[in-house]
């Protein structure tokens, strides 16, 4: 049974308000919180392909890569300590996102963003001056704590500040910042890799201080959201602030809905326990399945290890890093497509189209690598046309992710939660995301070694499953005010059985219409 459609602007609730310059600038500054996550994703794979870095911290990998010419190309980077360097961050982010839930709810979104920037800044300093592997991993854990706080609070902040008509575009700014961070990291890796004496990897890792400072300072100057101000008992200031960010005086209807939502939230003593109630089953399911599927698209395999992956399929180090820069540019441009398309085309259309394109590309990459590398991983001399084919398939795959599962994985989960469970549910979302990211990062190089080109078929299977999940289980959320989102679940042919018919409104929902 296909998901039930929602007309654009959903329901009778159409709050007055425009996209003011004040809100635009505020959301741009807040979205910069994505820079720290993106920079880390981009920088990790780059430094792990630098010989000076491998020689100092992972000499066995260096020897396998450079001295053992008979080594299977699929397995040259297979090292659990090396992958622990990359993936330790994500366990730390999982833990800190749970702590951030309480801070975000009780003290506002800004404080969590500040802690995120500060912890990331300290982690960048530790990594930049690292002398041994354990110092590297401690730095990574601190970076992870920072990312957990930022990823928990920034999407909530953006979804609450944005007018409902423009929520998609403004919230996608978070993913756009992630892609910009990845691109900047890839460019820096390319140039820093040419420096002698190990200075390159130190500059790459230490450079994380720059995005950390941006979000730390930005969080100090940003205003809090009206939702958070009401939740903490400052209703008078919240109404004045709502008038400013909407650019109109008539905010009574939206303000009253925020107050009602806040009063419901205040009655909830334990949001974690509340989240398990039957009526929140749709939201909890999305908080688990969407981040799970987002990571099992295989995207972080590409973005973490793009230089390593390209090196493994026969590219020289410089060419591998440059190929990662190219995919970074495609990633950023694809996200811009989503910024302009998400509030026009809708979430479901982008999810489904992106899934189909990713599936085709993953099968293409598997076929291209399988044809040349076979089972033994020794391809001989690789022609130039082959390298171009692999890069084109990967770029098309990255583009599809960049306008679909990349931004929408954060957007949809930030806009569907009612206020009383919002912080807890977003923490679940971030925790599942980080747990799956940890798993994929930790086992990818081993899986590549053993599954070879079949690894891409493995991820293609999940792309099929997630595309079907969206088609049947995810209702359209385009144009629905955030405090009126409960109506979309009541109008859905499956999720309606879990939702209390007396809880909220669903005016204007078109039951029976599918896409």
Q: Which residue has the tokens 């000076």?
A: 52
pLDDT digit string (tens) for the chain, length 515 residues: 333 333 333 445 678 878 889 999 999 999 999 999 999 988 887 888 788 888 888 888 788 777 665 555 556 666 677 777 777 888 899 999 888 988 988 888 999 999 999 999 999 999 999 999 889 989 999 999 999 999 999 999 998 898 888 888 888 999 899 999 988 998 898 889 888 777 899 999 999 999 999 999 999 999 999 988 998 888 899 999 999 998 888 889 989 988 988 887 777 777 888 889 999 999 999 999 999 999 899 886 666 556 555 665 556 656 666 777 888 899 899 999 999 999 999 999 999 999 999 999 989 888 887 777 666 555 556 677 777 787 788 889 999 999 999 999 989 998 898 888 888 898 999 999 989 988 887 777 777 777 777 888 899 999 999 999 999 999 999 988 887 888 899 999 999 999 865 444 444 444 333 33
DSSP assignment of 396-451: HHHHHHHTTHHHHHHHHHHHSS-HHHHHHHHHHHHHHHHHHHHHHHHHHHHHHHHH
Helices (H), 313-346: 317-345
pTM of the model: 0.78
**Separation CA 339–CA 200 (nearest Å):** 34
* Residue 113 exposure: Cα atoms within 13 Å on the Cβ side: 31
- Radius of gyration from C-alpha coordinates of the chain: 23
Residue pair 447/309 in contact by the 8 Å Cβ criterion: no
Of the candidates 56, 325, 76, 82, the residue with the CA atom closest to the CA atom of residue 189: 325
Copy the structure tokens of residue 62. Answer: 């260096």
Residues 6 or more apart whose CB falls under 8 angstroms from that of 505 comprise 11, 13, 484, 486, 487
Residue pair 82/58 in contact by the 8 Å Cβ criterion: yes
Structural domains present in the chain: 21-224+268-498 (1.20.1250.20)
What's the confidence (pLDDT) of residue 483?
A: 78
Residue pair 426/155 in contact by the 8 Å Cβ criterion: yes
Residue pair 327/301 in contact by the 8 Å Cβ criterion: no
Residue 88 backbone phi and psi in degrees, to 5: -60, -30
């Amino acid at each position: 049974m296909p998901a039930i459609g929602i007309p654009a602007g959903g329901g009778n609730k159409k709050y007055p308000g425009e996209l003011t310059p004040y809100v635009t600038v505020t959301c741009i500054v807040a979205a910069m919180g994505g820079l720290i996550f993106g920079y880390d994703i981009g920088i990790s794979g780059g430094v792990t392909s630098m010989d000076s870095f491998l020689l100092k911290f992972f000499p066995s990998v260096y020897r396998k890569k450079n001295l053992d010419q008979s080594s299977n190309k699929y397995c040259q980077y297979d090292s659990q300590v090396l992958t622990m360097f990359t993936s330790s961050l994500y366990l730390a982010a999982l833990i800190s996102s749970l702590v951030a839930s309480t801070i975000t709810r009780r003290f506002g979104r800004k404080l969590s963003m500040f802690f995120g920037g500060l912890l990331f800044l300290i982690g960048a300093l530790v990594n930049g001056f690292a002398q041994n592997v354990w110092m590297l991993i401690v730095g990574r854990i601190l970076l992870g704590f920072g990312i957990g706080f930022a990823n928990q609070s920034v999407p909530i902040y953006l979804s609450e500040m944005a007018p409902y008509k423009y929520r998609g575009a403004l919230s996608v700014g978070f993913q756009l910042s992630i892609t910009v961070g990845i691109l900047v990291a890839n460019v820096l890796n390319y140039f820093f890799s040419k420096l002698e004496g190990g200075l390159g990897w130190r500059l790459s890792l230490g450079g994380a201080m720059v995005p950390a400072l941006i979000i730390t300072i930005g969080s100090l100057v940003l205003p809090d959201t009206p939702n958070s101000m009401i939740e903490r008992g400052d209703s008078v200031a919240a109404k004045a602030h709502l008038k400013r960010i909407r650019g109109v005086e008539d905010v009574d209807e939206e303000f009253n809905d925020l107050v009602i939502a806040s009063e419901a939230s205040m009655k909830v003593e334990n949001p974690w326990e509340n989240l398990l109630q039957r009526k929140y089953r749709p939201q909890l399911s999305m908080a688990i399945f969407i981040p799970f599927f987002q990571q099992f698209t295989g995207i972080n395999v590409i973005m973490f290890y793009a230089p390593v992956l390209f090196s493994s399929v026969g590219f020289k180090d410089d060419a591998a890093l440059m190929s990662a820069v190219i995919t970074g540019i495609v990633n950023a441009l694809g996200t811009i497509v989503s910024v302009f398309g998400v509030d026009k085309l809708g979430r479901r259309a982008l999810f489904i189209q992106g899934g189909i394109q990713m599936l085709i590309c993953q099968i293409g990459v598997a076929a291209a690598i399988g044809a040349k590398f076979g089972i033994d991983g020794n391809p001989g001399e690789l022609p130039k046309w082959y390298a171009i084919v692999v890069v084109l398939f990967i770029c098309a795959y990255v583009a599809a992710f960049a306008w679909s599962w990349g931004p929408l994985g954060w957007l949809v989960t930030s806009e569907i939660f009612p206020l009383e469970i919002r912080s807890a549910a977003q923490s679940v979302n971030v925790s599942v995301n980080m747990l799956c990211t940890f798993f994929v990062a930790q086992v990818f190089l081993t899986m590549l070694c053993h599954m070879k080109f079949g690894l891409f078929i493995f991820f293609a299977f999940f792309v099929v499953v997630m595309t079907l999940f969206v088609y049947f289980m995810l209702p359209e959320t385009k144009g629905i005010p955030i405090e009126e989102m409960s109506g979309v679940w009541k109008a859905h042919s499956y999720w309606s059985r879990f939702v209390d018919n007396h809880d909220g409104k669903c005016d204007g929902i078109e039951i029976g219409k599918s896409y």
